Amino acid sequence: MEKALIVKELVKSYGSLTAVNHLSFEVDNGEIFGLLGHNGAGKTTSIECILGVKRADSGSALIFGKDPKKDRRRVFEKVGVQFQQTNYQDKIRVDEICQVTASLYREPADWEILLDTFGLTEMKRKMVAELSGGERQRLSVLLALIPKPELVFLDELTTGLDAKAHRDVWRYLEGLKKQGLTIILTSHYMDEVNILCDRICILKKGETIFQGTVAEAVEGSPFDHLEEAYLWYSGEEAYADENL
């Protein structure tokens, strides 16, 4: 079977700033892969280049052996995407955006069940614009799962969620993983990464600083916990920025 994702030597710069520098990694089927790094490290740019939303300067990305730019319609039949920031049509209701999303795929998931799983059933008839930050976040993850994907990209999946919602989403994703779903996610929460990710890649200003399992990341650092190890890899001066 084809690998879920193969990224080779991806480069993307904006003017003189190199946002992603020779990024290479592979993701196996059924794996959860975490792309980590501070804001501006190049996570979102990497994902957008992989998906073909942004044009990479060089390098390649193959999703299940196919180029998403050339084979867009076939690739995205079975790939779900949650962007970091999701905008919706004005005055659209929750059930309407779910219906529209489901209508785009040949064999979509039952979105009413997904609404229930994500605790949004009561919001069904509400305008998306009226949802709270956490509800919107859950909705954006839910929409990425409507294609019944084999691979899903989740860019900051739990930002803005409360503790309980965090755990609910994690549990749900772990369940999907058991059914064979491959997940590529970005996150700022190391407890989330610790629980979910099989392997991680830490980016710093577009450069790959570390790639391997969570255990290897901790081992390779002078620390005992992923959080500290991560901060050590990604550099303390960036840590200070993050808190501004």
Indicate which single residue of 33, 76, 210, 230 sits in contact with other proteins (rule: CB under 8 A).
Answer: 76
Give yes or no for residue 64 binding other proteins (CB under 8 A): no
Q: DSSP H helical segments within 77-149, as ranges?
A: 94-103, 111-117, 133-145
Indicate which single residue of 25, 88, 118, 189 sits in contact with other proteins (rule: CB under 8 A).
Answer: 88
Give the separation between CA 124 and CA 238, rounded to whole angstroms: 41
Instruction: Report the site for other proteins in 20-59 (rule: CB under 8 A).
Output: 51-53
Phi first, then psi: what are they for 19, rounded to 5°? -80, -35
Q: In angstroms, give the least distance from the CB of 240 to other proteins.
A: 31
Residues 98-137 vs other proteins: string with x where CB under 8 A? -xxxxxxxx-------------------------------
Give the separation between CA 102 and CA 112, rounded to whole angstroms: 11
Give yes or no for residue 90 binding other proteins (CB under 8 A): yes
Indicate which single residue of 87, 163, 236, 237 sits in contact with other proteins (rule: CB under 8 A).
Answer: 87
Phi first, then psi: what are they for 70, rounded to 5°? -85, -30
Give yes or no for residue 226 binding other proteins (CB under 8 A): no
In degrees to the nearest 10, what's the CA dihedral of 223, 225, 231, 236? Answer: -50
Give yes or no for residue 195 binding other proteins (CB under 8 A): no
- The torsion region of residue 206 among left (phi > 0), alpha (psi -120 to 50) and beta comes to left
Phi first, then psi: what are they for 24, rounded to 5°? -135, 130
* Residue ranges that bind other proteins, judged by CB under 8 A: 51-53, 72-74, 76-77, 79, 81, 83, 85-92, 96, 99-106, 147
